[in-house]
C-alpha cells in the first residue's frame, strides 16, 4: 500500500534509478512497518525550480493506508533526505516531501480496493 514517488532533476542512469527504487522501497517498508510486498516506488526525471533556482532538487510524494503519522513522517523525511544527499548529492533543503494518508476505499489493487 505505501507508495513513494520521487521526482528529481538529478541526472540518473538506469542503474542509478534501479538502486534508488530498491533503497527507497526498503526504507518505506521498514519505517512504515508495512510488508515490502505491498510497497511501490517510482523514480521520474523532472525539471525543478527550488528557491528561485533551477538545479539539483527533488519532490517526494508518499502515500499509504495507515502507517503515516508525525513520527513516521519525520523519520521518512530524514532517511529519504539522507538517501538523496548520499546518492544524488541533493541537499536536504532542496527536497520537499508530501505525506498523504489515503482511505482504504480510495486505494485500488488487484481488481478491487483495500476497503
Sequence length of the chain is: 115
Query: What Cα–Cα distance (Å) separates residue 43 from each residue in 7, 24, 27?
Result: 6, 10, 15
- Which one of 2, 35, 56, 92 is the catalytic residue? 2
Torsion on CA atoms 96, 100, 106, 107, rounded to nearest 10 = 70
2 is an active site residue: yes
Rounded-to-integer distance, Cα 37 and Cα 74, Å: 23
Burial of 110 (0-12, 13-18, 19+ CB in 10 A): exposed
Catalytic residues: 2
Amino acid at each position: 500500500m505505501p507508495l513513494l514517488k520521487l521526482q528529481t532533476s538529478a541526472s540518473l542512469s538506469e542503474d542509478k534509478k534501479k538502486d534508488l527504487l530498491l533503497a527507497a522501497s526498503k526504507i518505506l517498508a521498514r519505517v512504515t512497518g508495512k510488508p515490502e510486498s505491498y510497497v511501490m516506488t517510482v523514480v521520474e526525471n523532472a525539471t525543478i525550480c527550488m528557491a528561485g533556482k533551477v538545479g539539483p532538487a527533488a519532490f517526494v510524494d508518499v502515500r499509504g493506508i495507515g502507517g503515516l503519522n508525525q513520527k513516521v513522517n519525520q523519520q521518512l523525511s530524514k532517511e529519504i533526505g539522507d538517501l538523496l544527499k548520499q546518492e544524488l548529492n541533493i541537499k536536504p533543503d532542496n527536497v520537499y516531501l508530501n505525506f498523504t494518508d489515503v482511505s482504504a476505499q480510495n486505494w485500488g489493487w488487484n481488481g478491487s480496493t483495500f476497503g
